[in-house]
């Protein structure tokens, strides 16, 4: 089962990013470290979070996970991707872009591995959050899925 942690964590990162975009009208994280036990996402932000906001983020992620959303991928042209997404992190020379869709909740260019359905992720918990020099860091962990 050791190979399952990265797809679960990576899929949770996508959902966390969409919750942040919707709640704060901010960009997706600019840096993420996905690990087996705990992961983190860094956002360009103007302030720290309150504990109540962190709880709301946790709730939003868990609601999306509980929605049993199918996770799919599609290849689109570079031109279409450029119209829909921020491609600043895309390597040179790419002509097609792989987009990972989490139901109709999130879509993002990505090369990583993902679960097939959000019911495989498990419960999402914000472990801690901090703010330093314009960077908001959210650390999170996952419980075991109930399936």
Query: How many residues are listed for the chain in this entry?
Result: 147
Q: Is 146 helix (H, G, I), strand (E, B) or coil?
A: coil
Determine if the pTM surpasses 0.85: yes
DSSP 32-70: EE--SS-EEEEEE-SSPPPHHHHHHHHHHHHHHHHT--B
Q: Tell me the domains of the chain and their CATH numbers.
A: 2-142 (3.30.980.10)
Distance from the Cα of residue 145 to its chain's centroid: 17
Summarize pLDDT for 16-49 with one digit per residue, the tens. 999 999 999 999 999 999 998 999 999 999 999 9
Residues 56-68: what's their mean pLDDT? 98
Give the pLDDT band (50/70/90) at residue 93.
confident
Summarize pLDDT for 120-144 with one digit per residue, the tens. 999 999 999 999 999 999 999 999 9
Determine contact, residues 124/62, Cβ cutoff 8 Å: yes
Predicted confidence (pLDDT) at residue 4 exceeds the cutoff of 80: no
């Amino acid at each position: 089962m050791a190979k399952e942690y990265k797809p679960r964590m990576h899929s949770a990162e996508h959902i966390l990013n969409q919750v942040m975009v919707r709640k704060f009208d901010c960009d997706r994280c600019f840096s993420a470290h996905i690990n087996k036990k705990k992961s983190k996402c860094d956002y360009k932000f103007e302030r720290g979070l309150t504990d109540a906001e962190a709880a709301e983020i946790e709730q939003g992620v868990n609601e999306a996970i509980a929605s049993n959303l199918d996770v799919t991928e599609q290849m689109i042209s570079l031109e279409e991707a450029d119209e829909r997404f921020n491609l600043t992190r895309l390597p040179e020379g790419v002509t097609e872009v792989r987009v990972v869709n989490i139901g109709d909740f999130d879509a993002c260019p990505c090369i990583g591995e993902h679960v097939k359905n959000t019911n495989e992720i498990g419960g999402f918990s914000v472990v801690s959050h901090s703010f330093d020099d314009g960077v908001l860091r959210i650390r999170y962990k996952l419980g075991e899925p109930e399936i």
